[in-house]
Amino acid sequence: MKEERTDISLTDFQHLIRKMYFEKDIQRGVDGTFMWLMEEVGELAAALRHGRSEELLEEFADVLAWLATIANVAGVDLSEAVRRKYGSGCPGCGQLVCICPNEEKP
């Protein structure tokens, strides 16, 4: 059976995570939630070194979920944050295709 693809916007994903976990997340707070995010980043790093594609999919999803979780706890709208910082191009050079020197972090 073919899996039907349904894209999820960043806004929809953040709302979904909020609906599923917000009561637990708010009790854990920003500090506890940040620690879980860092653990997932470590698992993603390991998967990038030697993971299978399925493991990579899971770890990227976990990192994004914990990022959405901490944004919810901190009261940050991720879509708004991304739009403000990257919506007009590279924050360093202002171009749609970055022309910042490789030594600089855009």
| CATH classification at residue 32 | 1.10.287.1080
Is pLDDT above 90 for 64?
Answer: yes
Q: What is the pLDDT of residue 3?
A: 67
Residue 62 included in any domain: yes
Residue 22 included in any domain: yes
Range of the domain at 54: 10-75
Give the type of residue at 18: R
| Residue 2 or residue 61, greater confidence | 61
Question: What's the pTM?
Answer: 0.86
Residue 1 included in any domain: no
Number of separate domains in the chain: 1
Q: What is the pLDDT of residue 7?
A: 92
Q: What is the pLDDT of residue 69?
A: 97
Residue 81 included in any domain: no
What is the band of 106 on the pLDDT scale with cuts at 50, 70, 90? low
- Mean pLDDT score, 8-12: 96
Residue 45 included in any domain: yes
